[in-house]
Structure 1
């Protein structure tokens, strides 16, 4: 008899450990630029610290997947938690002593970025062995809800804690990672079945993982579709913010727009387990793509920031369901010895699209009127949505036909 997720001891330990860690991470993320500005008065330095976190995640993302496939994944997660505790504790001590400097904060940011890049593939691969196949979709959706709730709550709390005392959000993050370390220490992970061939160097292992992903039709197709949509949506988001400013929207109105996007994501994450089961793989993905393709052009016609925020919430509502379906299918189709590399590669590709998208959006906003820039982004999303709708690979998933697995 299959044990429900709510009674799966090891899944609950993993979920709870990261619920607190993600809250602390997001509190730190909002407080970090505030601390840099308070210490140095430089907006450039503030951007540098945040840029270091993102850059470290991108640079380490691909090799991190190979490391997760090569190492003991539980031990790797514990090392990442311990490293973050040490780095953040040093920053708390420096702030309390009045000795915080920009180079120190850059170093701490680099540690946080590297640890995040290493932890995520190890956690994703571990999740697939802690949860039965029939419950993996629900577990992925629950993790998405955890991430969304941690982002909303942690971001809100970070600003408030910083207002009380500069060191406080970082101290809370230290405590969160200490609790996560202790919780993960009690995690029981089934022994892994190691591949027979000897472990090689990281470079060839990364190439082998990428080659396997590209040769698998389901993984290749879903990855390409998701990355392209993320690229155009990231561009669209910046274009809409610029357009709202040009139309005279107040800062509070623009902030509410962004908050409604997050609220839609939280609601969608809570609905994702139900919708994932009801819609099936093909409809789960296609419906999310069509929702965005239909709603995005409407923002070119709407002048109220509050109405745009409502459209944002609707756009975000089905995204967690599509993400749950894509991640679940990819994890089920990937052998355990490659799951870390799968997660690392996906993180690199989606992170790269998220970084390039705003650059594209900025260029569109500078070269074209606001409405035209929005429609250009909408056109890119519509094209990929047509490919998703017509995809024979996704249609085979809907029919329950297995996809060929490359040798």
Structure 2
């Protein structure tokens, strides 16, 4: 019998690095496309309405496909889904290249491409998120989630800037770059090793029931439900606040360039916060980091009513963006570990749909507030909405369970909110990972009792004895297959 190989650190995790680099390029290309296509429509038709319609179709297609896509990500091979999405987007971008090159630009064609892009985003995101716990170890998952956030923010900032510059040089260039980045991402993904999901018997396949199962799962988990509802309200009012501040800056005489710098500071703050998130997640309990984000945003929002000038408002945006990546990484890590693998795609799609809806409604609400309550009034309404969500998330005790069942096998570490004098039982999940759980509490879905009860020290000693390989079962199987001749 040979000893199990230790998992490589995240910086040398071949599969994660391939996935990260490929998607960094893919996102760079997408955001370059997203800034160039409305400019292309304006140049070809002169219609701002048509330009907005094309961009809006991407978001609409993503929302419509969201829930079915999550169910399909739990049914189909996730690597095949991601490869198909990259191939489809590369071909769609190539069709736009041809249309621009031959001066055959038609709104119908661009709308069809927008549908493809939105549907691919809806399919790709849950497939990637659900795959992440099988690519990295449990200990690496918070850092991996944080680095994925960095990837998204950098892709947005760099892709937008370069896409606009390329369009100014030549209309076809940003679309060429988009097609190439998706092609490279396809190649990188083809070398990523992912386990195949357990097959779903054909007689049990029913898309509607699978979607309902995912929605019901999210709703039945108190910690997930509370954080999702409060984050939805916070996201709604922050999106509204963002528009209100832009209007206040314009009315205060800030130039268009200054407003652009303000908006960029939000992205810069997010990148800095995402880079700091792995460290902060080691020193802050998950529920503390979540509550801290709500209080910080609630406290900083009213300052926009008294701050003047682009630099001051940009600094405010920067400060407000620092902590959310830490809370997002903590929450997403616990959600993925709590959720059985067969439901992870649906978890992502349900939460993504809720957040997408609030992000879409927020700017519209912000515009209405800025028009109805000029000056500080609109800012204070946004602050009041955030305050309601902050109080709700602070007083709700279910949030404190967000740290379980992520429990380290070492009895002296990684067990927040555990009482040495209480009685516990040992649970095991489908990935052969173990956890201590307070006796008498409902066992979460995806976990089962192993029959061991006792004090914290007794249960921890049992886990030390039986849990000799910390890698998830799917990761062990994949690494074992790699060593076969």
TM-score > 0.5, shorter chain as reference: yes
Return the offset for 1:191: 3.1
Deviations for 1:39-69, whole angstroms, at most 9, x for unmatched residues?
1111111000000001001111111100101
Query: Does the 8 A contact of 1:70 with 1:199 survive in 2?
Result: no
Match for residue 425 of structure 2? none
- Which of 74, 87, 91 is 1:82 aligned to? 87
Match for residue 286 of structure 1? 291
Return the offset for 1:370: 2.3
Relative contact order (C-alpha < 8 Å, sep 6+): which is higher?
1
| Inter-CA distance 404–221: structure 2 relative to 1 (3 Å threshold) | farther
Query: Does the 8 A contact of 2:42 with 2:48 survive in 1?
Result: yes
Q: Say which one has the larger Rg.
A: 2
Between 1:315-324 and 1:101-110, the stretch displaced more is: 101-110
Match for residue 186 of structure 1? 191
Match for residue 109 of structure 2? 104
Match for residue 260 of structure 1? 265
Partners in 2 of 1:199 and 1:130 — Cα distance?
28
Return the offset for 1:182: 0.9
Return the offset for 1:305: 2.0
Match for residue 208 of structure 2? 203
Contiguous gaps of at least 5 residues in structure 1: none
Within 5 A, what are the aligned runs for 1:283-322? 283-322=288-327
| Inter-CA distance 370–14: structure 2 relative to 1 (3 Å threshold) | same
| Inter-CA distance 271–198: structure 2 relative to 1 (3 Å threshold) | farther
Between 1:346-355 and 1:364-373, the stretch displaced more is: 364-373
Partners in 2 of 1:131 and 1:241 — Cα distance?
40
Q: How many residues align?
A: 407
Within 5 A, what are the aligned runs for 1:151-170? 151-170=156-175
Partners in 1 of 2:135 and 2:125 — Cα distance?
15
Deviations for 1:263-294, whole angstroms, at most 9, x for unmatched residues?
11111111111111111202211111111111
- Which of 40, 43, 48 is 2:48 aligned to? 43
Query: Does the 8 A contact of 2:75 with 2:197 survive in 1?
Result: no
Match for residue 74 of structure 2? 69
Within 5 A, what are the aligned runs for 1:90-239? 90-194=95-199, 198-239=203-244
Match for residue 272 of structure 1? 277
Partners in 2 of 1:314 and 1:7 — Cα distance?
32
Partners in 2 of 1:199 and 1:189 — Cα distance?
24
Query: Does the 8 A contact of 2:331 with 2:402 survive in 1?
Result: no
Query: Does the 8 A contact of 1:297 with 1:378 survive in 2?
Result: yes
Return the offset for 1:194: 4.2
Return the offset for 1:195: 5.7
Partners in 1 of 2:77 and 2:401 — Cα distance?
35
Partner of 1:100, secondary structure, is coil
Return the offset for 1:395: 2.5
Query: Does the 8 A contact of 1:130 with 1:190 survive in 2?
Result: no
Match for residue 354 of structure 2? 349
- Which of 5, 10, 22 is 1:5 aligned to? 10
Partners in 2 of 1:318 and 1:289 — Cα distance?
9
Between 1:139-148 and 1:397-406, the stretch displaced more is: 397-406
Backbone CA RMSD of aligned residues: 1.5
Deviations for 1:171-196, whole angstroms, at most 9, x for unmatched residues?
10111010111111111112323467
Q: Name the one with the larger helix percent.
A: 1
Query: Does the 8 A contact of 1:194 with 1:337 survive in 2?
Result: no
Return the offset for 1:227: 1.1
| Inter-CA distance 338–382: structure 2 relative to 1 (3 Å threshold) | same
- Which of 224, 244, 250 is 1:245 aligned to? 250
Partners in 2 of 1:145 and 1:283 — Cα distance?
22
Partners in 2 of 1:70 and 1:199 — Cα distance?
11
Q: With structure 2 as the length reference, what TM-score do the two structures score?
A: 0.82
Match for residue 405 of structure 1? 444
Return the offset for 1:352: 0.3
Match for residue 367 of structure 2? 362
Match for residue 390 of structure 2? 385
Query: Does the 8 A contact of 2:62 with 2:118 survive in 1?
Result: yes
Return the offset for 1:28: 0.6
